[in-house]
Structure 1
Amino acid sequence: MFAHIALFSPPYTTLTYELPPCFPAAFWQPGLRVAVPLGRGALRAGVLLGTETAVALPPGVTCKRLAWPLETTPLLSGDLLALARDLASRQGLGVGSVLGHVLPQGLRLTRIRLRELGGEAAAPREGRTWSLHDICAAPEAEQARLAEALLNGRARLLPPGTDAAEEERCRLLTDPPWPVRPSAARQIAILDLLHERGSVSRRQLARDLPGSAAALRALLTAGLVELVQAADEDREGEELLPPPPAPFALNAAQQAALSDMTGALDAAQPATRLLYGVTGSGKTAVYLELARHCLAHGRSVLLLAPEVALAHKLRRDAAQVLPHVPVYLYHGYQTPRRREELFRALARHDGPCLVVGTRSALFLPLPDLGCVILDEEHDTSFKQDEGLPYQAKEVAWFRVGLRKGLLVLGSATPDIKTFYAVEQGKLAMLSLPQRVGGRPLPPVELVDIGPLSCRPQDSGLLAPQSEAALREVVARGEQAVVLLNRRGYAPLMFCQDCKSTLKCPHCQIGLAYHKGREKLVCHYCGFSLPFPSPCPSCKSMSFLPLGEGTEKLAESLSVLAGGPVLRLDRDSTRRPGHMEEILAAFARRESPLLVGTQMLSKGHHFPGVTLVVVADGDLGLNLPDYRAAERTFQLLVQSAGRAGRGEMPGRVLIQTGDAAHYCWQYVREGDYEGFYAEELARRRKYAYPPFVRLALVRLSFAVDDGRGQERLGAAGKLLREAAGREGVRLLGPAPAPLAVLRGRRRFHCLLKGADWRGIRQVFAALVRDKEAVHLRPFLDLDPVNML
């Protein structure tokens, strides 16, 4: 017999192998992970897709024999294989490439051992342990004996032994600046690495920073770093989260939405619902009651959040509302070992369960998946645009379709394409038009700060009207949130001698000044320089920080607040558990003001907040992206929803230098449907989604590639010819908005077509050209990142 095996690692192809005769034919089931030889004897992991009794081989060609199974029963379900095939066909990839990008790392490796058991399997005594290499080197008779022992329970396959250094995570205990001597370079390197990544295993730290053991011991002794077990991080900081809202009965709108969704779920037909509810309308309560119903009927539920912090909050809320249900948490920041354990546990689980997580949880083997819920479905984090590109909504729709389940998309500001599907009758919508308790939405006021060129040179980021409103809030003992979607102390550092801004040498993008770390940092590739240090161009030390980030804004507002101001952004929350500490401190009213980036806009409940100030409402409006206005509207409406969620009424101030922009009238009124109609008309006029299929082709080459421009020209000609044949409109190639990134020159092509097939054919023509492949082409269907 022969088997078709999809490899989990490059070249990610599907190959045919002869099956070893020591296992019966019925043993080889689709979804079984196996080890196969490739090249000069190296063993690779793959998945069995199917078997055949005979294959036609060219003369003189023989099939290599499959080495050994990595498990005795398939770990990958039929649903996951079907999903991998669907994604592979969408992206023009192999099944192995899809699985190689989404499976936990340990499941893509061949590290197993076989332990022979003495006596009954239930009471094993010490026996011989075989490595995979030893099994492959054994005579066929010995392999047959081991196979029989494995099938009859006298042997078992063991995963790799526990690596203590891999299971121990190093994490920061304090934020910068750190009390470390400038000469302690290794200690500073460890602190910087942990600040960038949040937490790292002791083994990974040793790999990334060889010879750092002594420096790590010094940091542990000084109390700047601690070691924790990886399993302890799953609920890290949940005890610090603000208390969940008190239980309450669903109002009429919530109950009507729940009844509709439970009816759709019970109909046993694939269904999708948009839960369109204003901020604070109680969508989470509806999600959890729907989960209760689905679980009670013996079906599993997947609840997805756009961020890890919100996933933690949802997991805690779910555990309180559904105390007797298995609730799992899964996200990309967990250790590889932890993600593998959860995958295996769910593959073995035979009853209904609830999984809360981020988009990667879509590839878990949940038993009888009945319902998938995407909270904040409009959020761009649900689109994966690197490695294996996919849209979580499409993957979720495919998964519920396999099991005739229900997909729920929840948002106060739905994606334009989602709302258009409702308008076209392809998707049913349920509305929650009022906040829980009947509280009104806060009034939104625009603060016209005029064009940048007309502002006084010494003016601060906040207008006098905004500062006055903040002072009033502080004087009344209330709380306010200030949103600035720009982290760091200053976005640019200007050399006053050579009149230039300091830029990243790899990306040609301005370096942002981070005062706490005393560094200039590139927010794209991570390159950093200590500050102060001489200007690379003129060696001067005369610098002027330009602009204002959250770090500087929080510092300047501390005078107004009469004490420290809390800050919530990517930099202040890198330390595990620190986000929860910040939110808990704000809930305890340790500071009247909280400054942060767009992280503040998503799902947080601040009952004491009566004022929201958006410091730079125009920041995203002028990006070269057809979704710029939509994203700005979504961000500001979501941010405005943080005010007035308690007993006191709220107020929202949005600073803008372009008060005439059409977006503001709809933001001010919280009028999503009005904005939708305006934006839809513009997209129809300029032929953008949902009226066309749009794809972005990214082409890049090394900055020192002498033939890069020549290859780019040839690729452009090839694309134009293929687009003409397929009836696809091609724009480009043109320099990307971020023209140089990580040492590569970047170019974009936009493809507009009536269907995805034509667009895929155009890209396939490019990939088939060997010269063009040197440009590193990448296809992003329905892109959300146009930079």
Structure 2
Amino acid sequence: MTTDPVKNFLEVAVTAPVNKPLTYLAPDECKKRLKQGMRVLVPLGGRKITGYILGRTDTAPVGQQIKKIYKVLDNEPLFPKEQVDFYKWIANYYHYPIGEVIKTALPAGLTKKSGRRIKITDAGKKHLAEISESAITGTPWFSSLLHKGAISPHAAAGLWRTKERGLLELWEQKGWVAISIELVGGTAKTKNETCCALAENIDNPDSLKVSEQKTIAVLQKIASATKRRFVPRREITLEYRGAGKALKSLAGKNIVIFEEQQVYRDPFGDSFLQSDIPETLTDEQKKALSSILPAIKEGRFAPFLLHGVTGSGKTEVYLQAATFVLEQGRSVLLLVPEIALATQLEAHFLARFGSRVALLHSGLGSGQRFDQWCRIAEGKADVVIGARSAVFAPLKNPGLIIVDEEHDSSYKQDDGFRYHARDLAVLRASRSAAVVILGSATPSVTSYYHASMGKYSLLDMRKRIEERPLPAVEIVNMQSVKTIAGRPPVFSPLLIKNLQDTLERGEQSLVFLNRRGYANFMICRDCGQAAQCAHCQVSLTLHRSENKLLCHYCGFTVSSKTVCANCQSPSLTAIGVGTERLEHELPEILPGARIARLDRDTCRKRSDYIKILRAVHKGEIDILLGTQMITKGHHFPNVTLVGIVLADTGLGLPDFRAGERTFQLISQVAGRAGRGEKSGRVIIQTFQPEHYSIEMARNHNYQGMYAREIELRKALGYPPFSRLANLKIEGTDNDYVRDKAFRLANMAKKFCKGTEPEILGPAPAPLTRLRDNYRWQLLIKGKKLEALHTFLHRLEGEIGGLSKAGKVRIVIDVDPEYML
């Protein structure tokens, strides 16, 4: 029997802005063991970077010198060969380099590349030390070289892109510095620690020293309590400080054995929520499962849109479906839009499935994420809960993919690789013959349209558990509320009275404002100029507790005691309201009330978030106020009042989805009220009480909102009646960026056939300057998806030419969620 000859050439996706795989030669010594999905180090443009093997080929590009791979980085593939086509499809759809797609799909820290380390020589110390101190000022890299003796690869990479490169190369020629190439990155790995165990037979333990006998006793005690033979050395020395030296001597006497074992970095910590299995399901839950379970049993792709009002029991449908999938020997993936929601759902899934659950999201440390990824890849975990990037989890044989709060815009990555996790979840399910459930109380207009057209099966759950009523909603027109010193108050009299009444009854309240900080901006009373970010064309937000003005886009800060940049006047006054101001004013209105704030300023770690939620569940907090973090997924049985301070903040955005998002946000936070035995109430404060999104939210009328939105979008030709791509042109020189934007628009119009696709722009982006970059946009609107992508592929070559000089960056954002 003859075997097929091993093909000599490899298709490699490199981690660089290269749109297509590159061809490399497989070295003879490792040719046979190379497989799809393995990492290799390859030469590219004078450096070495990580690449991923996509396949083999007999032929190489004509007229090119084919280089050999430099090094094989894996013994086994990091992803199965079935994933290669998945990654290729994604790269093609989002017009993004396939190597960068794969890099995103894998845990951070797996990418290696070559870097330059610059060291000063003895001759360099002599000559460079004579340079005056004034020359060093403003050049930290030179000071580092002179005083520390070296420049790190990370710092050198930045210098190599500037004019300083020529200077350093000159110094190398003169022998003043030595420049070496070394591999950097690739920090992800398992963590090991030294563990100890007693040997099988211990001779004459009475002859041992007292410290040795005590060490053995401690080891035996811990081993017995934890039912482990090998005990980490750190646990023994923590209990008995003298154990370190004693363990070494015991090992020398062959009484104690040392062994390096992998440390599992637990991501779950202490869960404060309980999850009980209900004795009976509601009729609507049973009906939903009667559609879902047969599709799972048949092992076929079936997309469902589960439209269930807040408190209708969607989570239990997820859990029952997941249980059934696991019984079939397949795995489960649950996506949530943000870490906050992952914490809620993980408790329910941990209670049902225990150690089978793995967690993947950015709130974990890099080591924890790597350990979780390995557990999934090795088949030790077959239930995965995670945020956006978990859609790439290396699950074996997925049978069910759940996208909770499917309408949430957080599923769309807004920089770098701009993918939409919900859409990729549907794609992955179709390629795996799996069921996908898109769940929401307020589905996206696009998803609901797909359900109405038969693309998804619609499952309705319109009643709350135990048929509890949806909360009564009342709207306060803030235009009619009496002003204080010429300004409307933050809290209306009606909201204040309801907060007082709720507090007196021993019940809890939520107060929602989708704006963090103390005030929106600081304005000069003398010249009227607002304090602006030095790097963005946006106002700085006052964060009073930290005495700073902060840019929420780039992180730039100045002291809140600053003077006006325009006229140097110190007379700055705070305008607007944020969650920090609510926290400041509420104690004056309700003295004695226990108040907590939940936003990104108070919850920078997972433990901060859990601490606040635990206090709410224990009844230690009377009023919880916050941003979007309090709107979704929470089940607080004693919360009977929800106050929405400024319900219309999003309606002024230049975005065709503004009305839809406002309805969703109000409906979601309103759904936190009255989920227990007591009925709930919602107070909505707004300056636009007659806007349809607010009116529909008051009546819990999703169908009414959808009918209005779908009519508007059909008339304007927006999704779901078209597909969009936003071309973003950015650079530090506004005139240059504008010129390239118009050149790109002219090229695009030449490629158009008739009116398809439609080219809108170019125009300055609503946020004209961010992070020192001026921004222009070109919106492409197409009725046919295939024609739109054919057009974009033709345009890609022109984009490469326009951005080649490096003065502008042009990004293709397919299916954009925001166009700011």
Alignment TM-score, normalising by the size of structure 2: 0.78
Conserved in 2, the CA contact under 8 Å of 1:79 and 1:402?
no
- Distance verdict in 2 for CA 1:557–1:245, change over 3 Å: farther
Amino acid at match of 2:817: V
Return 448-457 or 372-381, whichever deviates more.
Answer: 448-457
Task: Give the equivalent residue in structure 2 for 1:84.
Answer: 87
1:484–1:616 contact (8 Å) kept in structure 2: yes
Shift of 1:110: 6.6
Other-structure match for 2:283: 252
Q: Quick one: which of 614, 625, 628 aligns to 2:658? A: 628
Aligned to 2:712: 682
Q: Whole-Å Cα distance in 2 between the matches of residues 245 and 738 of structure 1?
A: 47
> Who is 1:276 aligned against?
307
1:191 equivalent in structure 2: none
1:437 Cα deviation from its structure 2 partner:
1.4
- 1:33 aligned to 28, 39, 42, which one? 39
Query: Does residue 17 of structure 2 align to residue 17 of structure 1?
Result: no
Residue 9 (structure 2) aligns with: 2
Q: Describe how 1:161-560 pairs up with structure 2 within 5 A.
A: 234-236=267-269, 238-239=270-271, 241-244=272-275, 247-323=278-354, 326-349=356-379, 353-450=382-479, 457-560=486-589
Task: Answer yes or no: is the 8 Å Cα contact 1:242–1:583 preserved in 2.
Answer: no
- Distance (whole Å) between structure 1 residues aligned to residue 607 and residue 263 of structure 2: 14
Residues 1:711 and 2:744 are matched in the alignment = no
The SS at the match of 1:653 is strand
Deviates more, 1:266-275 or 1:442-451: 442-451
Tell me if the contact between 2:273 and 2:347 (Cα under 8 Å) persists in the aligned partners. no
SS at match of 2:29: coil
- Gapped regions of structure 2 (runs ≥ 5): 1-7, 115-185, 193-261
Deviation at 1:772, TM superposition (A): 5.5
Task: State the SS of the aligned residue for 1:98.
Answer: helix
Q: Give the drift of 1:611.
A: 0.8
1:67 aligns with 2:70: yes
Asked if the contact 2:110/2:187 (under 8 Å) is kept, the reply is no
Q: CA 1:84–1:531 in 2, change beyond 3 Å: closer, same or farther?
A: same
Q: Deviations along 1:424-461, whole A, 9 cap, x unmatched?
A: 11110112111111110011111111289988624321
- Residue 87 of structure 2 aligns to which amino acid in structure 1? A
Name the SS for the 1:695 alignment partner: strand
Would the alpha carbon gap of residues 460 and 160 (structure 1) be closer, same or farther in structure 2, given more than 3 Å must change?
Answer: closer
Report the CA distance shift for 1:269/1:233 in structure 2 as closer, same or farther (over 3 A).
closer
Q: Distance in 2 between matches of 1:161 and 1:321?
A: 30
CA pair 571-759 structure 1, distance change in 2 beyond 3 A: same
Q: Structure 1: how far apart are the matches of 2:555 and 2:653? A: 22
- In the alignment, residue 74 of structure 1 is paired with which amino acid? P
Contact preservation (8 Å) 1:712, 1:775: no
Kept in 1: contact 2:14–2:99 (CA 8 A) = yes
C-alpha distance in structure 1 between counterparts of 2:795 and 2:71, whole Å: 38
Map of 1:152-167 to 2, 5 A cutoff? none
Q: 1:731-760: per-residue Cα shift (whole Å, max 9, x none)?
A: 211121111111111122222111233333
Which deviates more, 424-433 or 97-106? 97-106
| Equivalent residue runs for 1:36-47 within 5 Å | 36-40=42-46, 42-47=47-52
The residue that corresponds to 1:657 in the other structure is 687
Determine the structure 1 residue equivalent to 2:121.
none
- 8 Å CA contact 2:190–2:367 kept in 1: the answer is no
Between the aligned partners of 2:606 and 2:381, the Cα distance in structure 1 is: 30
Matched, 1:779 2:785: no
Q: Which amino acid aligns with 2:530?
A: T
User: For the Cα contact (< 8 Å) 2:723–2:783, is it kept in 1?
Assistant: yes
CA deviation string 1:539-591 (max 9, x = no partner): 22222111111101111111233234211111111133111111112222223
Counterpart of 2:329 in structure 1: which amino acid?
G
Q: Which residue of 1 aligns with 2:752?
A: 723
Taking structure 1 as reference, are residues 592 and 101 closer, same or farther at Cα in structure 2, changes over 3 Å only?
A: same
3-state DSSP of counterpart to 2:752? helix
The offset of 1:109, in angstroms, is: 2.2
Report the CA distance shift for 1:658/1:242 in structure 2 as closer, same or farther (over 3 A).
Answer: same
Q: What amino acid is the match of 1:35?
A: L
1:248–1:597 Cα change, 3 Å = farther
Equivalent in 641, 645, 649 of residue 619 of structure 1? 649
Residue 546 of structure 2: SS of its match in structure 1?
Answer: coil
* Greater mean deviation of Cα atoms: 534-543 or 8-17: 8-17
CA contact (8 A) 1:718 1:765 kept: no
2-structure distance, mates of 1:24, 1:381: 43
Answer 1 or 2: higher relative contact order, Cα 8 Å, separation at least 6. Answer: 1
Query: Once structures 1 and 2 are overlaid, which stretch shifts more, 418-427 or 10-19?
Result: 10-19
CA contact (8 A) 2:11 2:54 kept: yes
**Paired residue for 1:752?**
781
Q: Which residue of structure 2 aligns with residue 734 of structure 1?
A: 763
Question: In 2, are the aligned partners of 1:442 and 1:640 still within 8 Å (CA)?
Answer: yes
Residues 507, 742 of structure 1: 8 Å contact kept: yes
1:264-300 Cα offsets, whole Å, 9 max, x none, are 1111221111111110011111111111110111101
Gaps of 5+ in 1: 112-157, 165-228
Deviation at 1:24, TM superposition (A): 5.3
CA contact (8 A) 2:36 2:54 kept: yes
Deviations 1:57-107 (A, max 9, x none): 43xx54222233222222211232121111011123332121123322332
Q: Quote the Cα distance in structure 2 between the aligned partners of 1:715 and 1:22.
A: 48
Q: 1:699 touches 1:776 (CA, 8 Å); kept in 2?
A: yes
Q: Secondary structure at the match of 1:611?
A: strand
Amino acid at match of 1:606: F
Identity, % of aligned positions = 37
The answer to whether the 8 A contact 1:726-1:758 is kept is no
Residue aligned with 2:110, SS: helix
CA gap of 1:671–1:455, structure 2 versus 1, over 3 A, is farther
Q: Secondary structure at the match of 1:298?
A: coil
CA change 1:448–1:70 in 2 (3 A) is same
Q: 2:609, 2:711 → 1: CA distance?
A: 40
Provide the residue aligned with 1:138 in structure 2.
none
Q: For 2:56, give the aligned amino acid.
A: T
Distance in 2, matches of 1:747 and 1:473, equals 50
Q: Which amino acid aligns with 2:13?
A: A
Q: Once structures 1 and 2 are overlaid, which stretch shifts more, 658-667 or 479-488?
A: 658-667
Say how many residue pairs are matched.
669
Structure 1 residue 466: Cα displacement: 1.4
SS at match of 2:11: strand
Partner of 2:123: none
Does the C-alpha gap of structure 1 residues 11 and 751 become closer, same or farther in structure 2, counting only changes over 3 Å?
Answer: closer
The answer to whether the Cα contact below 8 Å between 1:484 and 1:614 also exists between their aligned partners in 2 is yes
Amino acid paired to 1:266: K
Matching residue of 2:232: none
TM-score norm. by structure 1 comes to 0.81
- In our comparison, the structure showing a higher alpha carbon Rg is 2
Q: Any idea what the Cα deviations from partners look like across 1:460-486, whole Å, max 9, x if unmatched?
A: 211111111111111222111111111
User: Displacement of 1:160 after TM fit?
Assistant: 7.5
Matched letter for residue 812 of structure 2: L
Deviation at residue 230 of structure 1 after TM alignment: 11
Tell me the CA shift for residue 696 of structure 1: 1.7
